[in-house]
Structure 1
């Protein structure tokens, strides 16, 4: 099963290759980062291989091994950010980044009933 972003990422890879074919690899305006809280030895490497198999070149892969993403995202300042955890999506959107939740991954496997905070209604 493929996720909802496969087509988008394949198209992004096609645009990258157009720049590369013209000898503009370093001048390509599309910079891609894989930023994962996982370590390279875990499923982080699998994600990198998947993206490459879809034709997307990754400029930098950052395996944080549990370290927070926020400080790194603040330095990178991505235009678009995708994550499977709403905490990271909300943090990136507060920076002014277009951020989207991807409803896949280990964080989506809820073993308890989620609680609803009612602080906004007070």
Structure 2
């Protein structure tokens, strides 16, 4: 079965990212497509990495954290990468929980102020 390869435009469309984003991910060495002349081609490795990058971004991880995590797999293997993932996930869960608390407090305060204002104007 032939290896799946996407060109630059196909990669942007598949992952719904801008060309600028894709070029930036290459610039900071998150992705390393095959090059043939000026054309770029993304194989299974790059597709998997892009999936992980976007998942990490959705969870709020910094690109540098994602880059370091991907490097662990290349240099130390799966188990080391999973251990690093657990540490990153625990840290991010704590940060998201704190943000959630702050948002809930802001909603409560805003609702109270809104209700006071509505009551004052009749």
The TM-score by the shorter chain falls in which range?
under 0.3
Q: Which protein has the bigger strand share?
A: 1
Higher helix share: 2
- TM-score, normalization: structure 1? 0.25
- Structure of greater Rg: 2
Greater relative contact order (CA < 8 Å, ≥ 6 in sequence): 1
